[in-house]
Structure 1
Amino acid sequence: MELNRRMLLGGAAATAGSLLMPQVAQANAAANAYFNGYEEDAGYQFRRTNFNRIDPVWRRQMVKYFSPEPPGTVVVDTSNHFLYWIWENNTALRYGVGVGREGFKWYGRARIDRKALWPRWVPPPEMLQRQPDLPRLVEGGAANNPLGPRALYLYRDGSDLGYRLHGTLEPWSIGHDVSSGCVRMFPEDVIDLYQRCPKGTAVLVLEHLGAGAG
């Protein structure tokens, strides 16, 4: 009886595994469709975004933008999932972003006081409490580093707020409320923004759209 029971359980597990395998393969194929090869950058590689799979609204583009903020300011519109880098003459360079999910949203003013090329990732204690299986440290350039090729660290009054503007391993998450408060960008976009924003750049995170965009 015990042998028959083991055989039955083993057969059930094998059947369940065989049923799951096509689903896993389909999910992997769907995720891989968002990538298009690899890009070399500063001695590391990242998976290049397949922008043919991305809704054009989330692609980096110049737009008309009316804001009282001075040129060179970063404005994050969390409601509509856009980040604006303010230019002159009521224009801005607009990027699609992913922002904090419910319970992890934040708003207000900050400043970029630190920038990192291929940053390492150290999950904050609060995140480790929620997800104790997370690694305690992921080195910069590692394939599983969620910050990607760049990170811009947000400070207020000299204190690290714990939030960053950074890349993502999940391009399909752009345009959604997905993070623990950080602002996610396509790897190509965070590289572009990193080059434009020196330390000291002012950042305004809006709860609601506080300026006019077109």
Structure 2
Amino acid sequence: MLGTRREILLGGLALLGAAAVRKPAFAAASSYFDGTLVDNGVTFRRTNFAKIDRKWHRQVVKYFSSEPIGTVVVDTRHHFLYVIMENKTAIRYGVGVGREGFKWFGRATIDAKSLWPRWTPPPEMRKRHPELPEFVAGGSPKNPLGPRAMYLHRDGVDTGYRFHGTLEPWSIGKDASSGCIRMFNEDAIDLYQRCPIGTAVQVLPHIADQAESTTQVSQTTPVE
């Protein structure tokens, strides 16, 4: 059963909210980026992975699970997302998860995907933040969803939660969102390629410390 600590889905507010993680000063924030990449005709800032703790880098790990191969499992306590592979392994990604009061757990499926998605703040969010625009175009450097969004549904109904990129790479590994699972933009592109429509998703409070790093996966280079 899909639920939250409030025992409700937060609907549109799950898309994005005021982050609990304070933005670094301009110079410090800029250090999280290194040059640019081009993806499907859109230029965006490349993550400076030399600045990022290696544990948050995409990597192959030993992983034991009863879930079928291809399932996505999110460990919210440790801020990891796993794609289960063969031979008791998984690809592990560092992620940002919902802050206190916005955490959620349960099963869902990826029922829709979008490349350079448009972001429309839900009405509830615009009431809280009237300065927000009606929408932000896909590919805009101000779009908080980044280059990819994967939409999580349960029983055919949109939960309001997504896997997506981020404008704030320093928030990966933290409780930072209003419920969505945010990723480095390069990782959102990689996950999008690996997860077809219908991919099963399980979001858990935590997973036992059973995943040991084996091999780092090279960062995906977007293509024209």
SS of the equivalent of 1:39 reads strand
Letter of the structure 1 residue corresponding to residue 28 of structure 2: A
Residue in 2 aligned with 1:89?
A: 87
Instruction: Give distance in 2, aligned partners of 1:37 and 1:185.
Output: 19
Instruction: Give distance in 2, aligned partners of 1:75 and 1:30.
Output: 32
Instruction: Give distance in 2, aligned partners of 1:88 and 1:150.
Output: 26
Distance apart, 1:126 and its partner CA: 2.4
Q: Give me the CA root mean square deviation.
A: 1.2
Instruction: Give distance in 2, aligned partners of 1:90 and 1:129.
Output: 47
Letter of the structure 1 residue corresponding to residue 184 of structure 2: F
Residue in 1 aligned with 2:210?
A: 212
> After the TM superposition, which of the residue ranges 124-133 and 148-157 deviates more from structure 2?
124-133
Q: What is the 5 A alignment of 1:90-109?
A: 90-109=88-107
SS of the equivalent of 1:63 reads strand
Instruction: Give distance in 2, aligned partners of 1:42 and 1:60.
Output: 22
Letter of the structure 2 residue corresponding to residue 148 of structure 1: G
Distance apart, 1:46 and its partner CA: 1.3
2:149 aligns with one of 148, 151, 164:
151
After superposition, give the CA deviation of every residue in 1:154-174 in whole Å (9 maximum; x if it has no partner).
000010000000000000000
Q: How many residues align?
A: 189
Residues 66, 211 of structure 1: 8 Å contact kept: no
Residue in 2 aligned with 1:33?
A: 31
After superposition, give the CA deviation of every residue in 1:95-147 in whole Å (9 maximum; x if it has no partner).
00000001111110000000000000011222222222111100100010000
Does 2:125 correspond to 1:112?
A: no
Instruction: Give distance in 2, aligned partners of 1:83 and 1:35.
Output: 22
Structure 1: stretches of 5+ with no match in the other structure: 1-25
Structure 2 length as normaliser, TM-score? 0.82
Residue in 2 aligned with 1:67?
A: 65
Instruction: Give distance in 2, aligned partners of 1:211 and 1:124.
Output: 37
Distance apart, 1:189 and its partner CA: 0.3
Letter of the structure 1 residue corresponding to residue 194 of structure 2: R
Q: What is the 5 A alignment of 1:1-80?
A: 27-80=25-78
Higher helix share: 1
2:125 aligns with one of 127, 139, 143:
127
Instruction: Give distance in 1, aligned partners of 2:204 and 2:103.
Output: 10
**Which has the higher Rg, Structure 1 or Structure 2?**
1
SS of the equivalent of 1:107 reads strand
Distance apart, 1:212 and its partner CA: 3.0
Distance apart, 1:32 and its partner CA: 0.4
Residues 81, 97 of structure 1: 8 Å contact kept: yes
Letter of the structure 2 residue corresponding to residue 102 of structure 1: E
| RCO comparison, higher one (Cα < 8 Å, 6+) | 2
Structure 1 length as normaliser, TM-score? 0.86
Identity of aligned residues (%): 69
Residues 36, 47 of structure 1: 8 Å contact kept: yes
Instruction: Give distance in 1, aligned partners of 2:200 and 2:184.
Output: 21
Instruction: Give distance in 2, aligned partners of 1:115 and 1:61.
Output: 23
After superposition, give the CA deviation of every residue in 1:170-197 in whole Å (9 maximum; x if it has no partner).
0000000000100000000000000000
Does 2:197 correspond to 1:199?
A: yes
Letter of the structure 2 residue corresponding to residue 145 of structure 1: N
> After the TM superposition, which of the residue ranges 127-136 and 75-84 deviates more from structure 2?
127-136
SS of the equivalent of 2:78 reads coil
Letter of the structure 1 residue corresponding to residue 135 of structure 2: L
